[in-house]
Amino acid sequence: MKRVVVIGGGYGGLRAIEKLSKYQDIAIILIDKNPYHYLQTEAYGYIAGQFDMHDVAIDLQNWCEGFKERVTFIHKEATSIDFEQKKVHLDGRDLFYDYLIIATGAKTNFFSFIEGLRENSYGVKNLERAHNFRIKFENIIYKKLQHEEDSREGKLNIAVGGAGLSGVEVAAEMAYVLDSYSKTIGDTAKEIHIYLIDASDTILPGMGQYSIDNTKKRLEALGVKILTSTFINTVDATYVHFRSGEKLPYSFMIFTGGIKASSLNDTIDNEKNSINQLITTPELNVQGQKDVFAIGDCVEIKDAKGNILPPTAQIAEKSAEYVAKTIRQRIDGVESKPFDADVSGVFIALGGKYAVGEMFKYIKVKGYVAYVLKKAITHAYYLGLRLRINTGFKNRNR
C-alpha cells in the first residue's frame, strides 16, 4: 500500500484525490489549514451577495468521508517538508509519505511597492477577506437605503484594483446588484460608483479580443468606470493615489491585481519565480525529488511550447489529473511523459444572467447562452462535491 499525501484542499488537491481514490493500493491523506474547500471561482457572486456561504465553501472532513475510509483528512497546517526523510512537518506531528503532492495554491499579492495597499484593501483568494468585503458592500447599500449620508468625500466610491478575470467579475456583479437595487430603493443606489483600475492598457490582459471587447461593453452598460493605464502609487484610508498625481476618494477597495504562492514555498529549497511559484521539472516534480509533485497556483506551469499557463482552476485541475496519472505510472514502473496542456476555454461572469466565453479557440459566445454554459460547468463541479459529501453522511450514520 502506497501513501500519497496531498497538501492543500483547493481545486488541484481535490481533483488529484478524486483520480487517485479509485486505486485500492493507494492510501490518501489530505492536509489543509482550513476545514473547508473554497470555490474561489464563485467569489464574485458571494461578495456581491448573489451567493450564500454554502455556495462557495465545502466541508473537507465530510467530503473526505465520502470516499469510504479511503481518504483521511487532517486539519492542520503543513509547516515544512523533509525530503530526505520523506515526511511532512505539521503542528505537533510528522507525517510520512511515499508520494507527495503540493497543492497549496496562492494568495493575493498586495504589492509591497504600493504603500498602504495591504492595510486598506481586501482580496478574494481568502474566504475570510471575501466575507469581510461582502459585509462592507452590504453595509454601504444599507446606509443608502436608510438615507444615511457621510460628509467624507468619496463615501460612495468602490475601487477594484486589477482588471483581470477576478476583478472584472467582481466589478460586474456588484454593478449588476446596484442596478437591481435601483429598481427598489431608487436613484440612491446609483450614487454608488464602481471604479475598475489596472496598469495595463486594456482590461483582461492576455485574453482574446472577443472577450475583451464584449466585456468592456457590458461593464460600461452596467455603469462601471474603467481606468486602464492607471498606476496606483499609494492607498490610504480615504484616497487611492495614482502615479499621475490624481487621486480617487473611495469607501472601500478590493485588490485582485496579482498573486503570489503560499508561504510553504518559502521553506522549500527549489528554484522559484518572482511571485514565489516553484519552478518544477517537465513532469511537475520538485527539483531533485521524483516522488514530490507540485500542482496548481503554487507552481509555474508551462505548456509544451514553454508558454506560462494562467493560474486558474482549470489549469490546477489539469495538472492534478496529470500528476495522479503519473503517480500511478511510477508505482507501476511505467515511464511518464512531460506535462502538456492548454486552456480549453474561459467564461467570464458579467452580472446577472450574462457572460462572455471563448472555447477551443473557435467558439465564441456571449449573453445568456454563455451564462448557461458557465453555470452548467460550475454546477457539475459543485454537484460532484455535494454528492461526495452526501456519501460521507451516509457512511458516518451507518
**93 located within any domain:** yes
Given a cut of 70, is residue 350 above it in pLDDT? Answer: yes
Of the candidates 208, 369, 349, 299, the one whose C-alpha atom is nearest the C-alpha of residue 10 is 299
Q: Are 202 and 122 members of one domain?
A: yes
- CA–CA dist 251, 142 (Å, integer): 14
**357 located within any domain:** no
What integer is the mean pLDDT of 14-30? 96
Q: Are 239 and 147 members of one domain?
A: yes
Contacts of 155 (CB under 8 A, 6+ apart): 149, 249, 251
- Output helix, strand, coil percentages for the chain, rounded to the nearest 5: 35, 25, 40
Q: Which three cell numbers stand for residue 51?
A: 451567493
Q: Are 141 and 225 members of one domain?
A: yes
Please tell me the predicted confidence (pLDDT) of residue 206. Answer: 85
Give the other-Cβ count within 10 Å of 390's Cβ. 12
- CA–CA dist 324, 359 (Å, integer): 25
Given a cut of 60, is residue 357 above it in pLDDT? Answer: yes
Q: Are 321 and 233 members of one domain?
A: no
Please tell me the predicted confidence (pLDDT) of residue 125. Answer: 84
Q: Which residues pair with 349 in a beta bridge?
A: 355
Count how many domains the chain has.
Answer: 2
Given a cut of 80, is residue 186 above it in pLDDT? Answer: no
DSSP letter at 291?
T
- CA–CA dist 226, 203 (Å, integer): 8
Given a cut of 70, is residue 151 above it in pLDDT? Answer: no
**90 located within any domain:** yes
- CA–CA dist 183, 181 (Å, integer): 5
- Give the domain-ending residue among 255, 285, 308: 255
- DSSP for 206-265 reads TS-HHHHHHHHHHHHHTT-EEE-S--EEEE-SSEEEETTS-EEE-SEEEE-S-EEE-GGG
CATH number at residue 193: 3.50.50.60
Please tell me the predicted confidence (pLDDT) of residue 134. Answer: 86
What integer is the mean pLDDT of 127-150? 77
pTM, full prediction? 0.90
- CA–CA dist 364, 348 (Å, integer): 12
Q: Are 201 and 287 members of one domain?
A: no
Please tell me the predicted confidence (pLDDT) of residue 7. Answer: 98
Please tell me the predicted confidence (pLDDT) of residue 152. Answer: 43
Q: Are 281 and 229 members of one domain?
A: no
Q: Are 322 and 272 members of one domain?
A: yes
What integer is the mean pLDDT of 80-106? 95
**395 located within any domain:** no
- CA–CA dist 87, 359 (Å, integer): 41
What integer is the mean pLDDT of 161-175? 93
Parent domain of 320: 2-33+76-108+259-343
Please tell me the predicted confidence (pLDDT) of residue 392. Answer: 46
DSSP letter at 339?
P
- DSSP for 149-176 reads ---STTTTEEEEE--SHHHHHHHHHHHH
- Give the domain-ending residue among 300, 324, 343: 343
**181 located within any domain:** yes
**140 located within any domain:** yes
Q: φ, ψ for residue 231 (rounded to 5)?
A: -100, 125
Q: Are 319 and 338 members of one domain?
A: yes
Q: Are 125 and 200 members of one domain?
A: yes
Give the other-Cβ count within 10 Å of 345's Cβ. 17
**98 located within any domain:** yes
- DSSP for 186-212 reads GGGGGG-EEEEE-SSSSSSTTS-HHHH
DSSP letter at 280?
-
| Averaged confidence pLDDT in the chain | 89
Is 10 in a helix, a strand, or coil? coil
Least confident of 136-150, 163-177, 231-245, 320-334: 136-150
Q: Are 151 and 212 members of one domain?
A: yes
Span 194-213, pLDDT tens digits: 999 999 999 999 888 999 99
Q: Which residues pair with 299 in a beta bridge?
A: 278
Given a cut of 50, is residue 226 above it in pLDDT? Answer: yes
Task: Region of 224 please: left (phi>0), alpha (psi -120 to 50) or beta.
Answer: beta
> What proportion of the chain, given as a percentage, has pLDDT over 90?
64
Local confidence band at 163 (pLDDT 50, 70, 90 cut-offs): very high
**96 located within any domain:** yes
Q: Which residue has the cell 460608483?
A: 193
Given a cut of 70, is residue 4 above it in pLDDT? Answer: yes
- CA–CA dist 336, 338 (Å, integer): 7
Q: Are 251 and 267 members of one domain?
A: no
Contacts of 33 (CB under 8 A, 6+ apart): 75, 76, 77, 78
- Give the domain-ending residue among 192, 222, 255: 255
Q: Are 136 and 103 members of one domain?
A: no
Contacts of 101 (CB under 8 A, 6+ apart): 4, 5, 6, 7, 13, 16, 293, 294, 295, 320, 323, 327
